[in-house]
Structure 1
Amino acid sequence: MSPFLSPLLLAGALLGLSACAVSPESVEAPSQAAPPAETDVAVREAPQLTLNLPSQSGCDCASKPASRDYTFLERGYRALSEGDAVAALQHFQRYKRLELEPAAQWEADIAIAYLGMLPDSPFYDHDAAEATFRRLVAQFTDEMQVHPTALLMRDSLAAFALLNRHISDLESSNATLREDLQKREEAIKRLRELTLGPSRAVQP
């Protein structure tokens, strides 16, 4: 072997070793770039979060009535319970002026009609109160959300109206009975006159 070839062989061997030493890094380099790809896969495979929010189509917000301030209405109820019909009427009227919703107007009107149905009230007017009550009953719908006391007043007015009809029927019946009794007394008187004569018919 030539002495000049041994350095060349040694250099080639060193180059081969250096190539082997470098090649693992070149092979491992892509593996270091793998985490982004794995991250993308993990992002794609992550479950989607779903929120149980109500759908807009099922929202019933429009049908809910606007809130009302019951301050003056309840003050009227309190004054009525204390026997102050004048103060109660003033509170009911003020509530009617401030709250313009149909339900609020109905609540105020039924309370005022209730005052007109009470015999001890200075505003007692049975006929007007019953006419107002019948009008309000016709106006009331199931969709109207009114104060519970207003519903109690409505039921009380219905009871008052029924009681007054019974009283009217009894008074009419009593008037008929009185008329019949008077006719009988007159018939008995004429019968006595015919039987005993006028002079003796007047004797006890």
Structure 2
Amino acid sequence: MRLVLVGPPGAGKGTQAQILSTTLGVPHISTGDLFRAHIGGQTELGREVKQYLDAGQLVPDEVTVNMVRERLDEQDTAAGFLLDGFPRTTAQADVLTGLLDAKGQRLDAVIEFDVPEDVVVERLLARGREDDKEDVIRHRQQVYRSETAPLLAYYRNILVTIDAVGSVQEISERALKALRASE
């Protein structure tokens, strides 16, 4: 099964990705993890990512795409994968479609974790991280909505929206039930 997870910061994507990855038997591929692995391994891509991050800049699509392409070429993704953090834009979605087309593959579903903004703000404030101030969190939510709305339209034919309010187990069960129904 080839899946993409989308949802605002604080929606619980990382937690759900780990559960779904284990349950479905496919690797969880997080762009954040890829960045950290390449930086830690001091690869050429890692050095490039580090330069952008150290300068406080966003990592360009081309660099992110190269990391994802390299990861999707690994053997453990042959039977499927779960992407978390990519694609974030329709341009990245076009690239992913091209990468999969070249392998004769396609996405099975895009799971959107739907959470009201006030719930996400409450969750993130409860973490107590220094950068989790309410105005910053609300700004991140606004950026997410503006960037992701076109992506949701792009994937409308394979989009599965999950109510992501409730216990971790309830949300996992909803996601798995929706995936089975979409097959």
Please, what TM-score do these two structures have when normalized by structure 1?
0.23
Please, what TM-score do these two structures have when normalized by structure 2?
0.24
**Is the radius of gyration larger for structure 1 or structure 2?**
1
Give the strand-richer structure, 1 or 2: 2
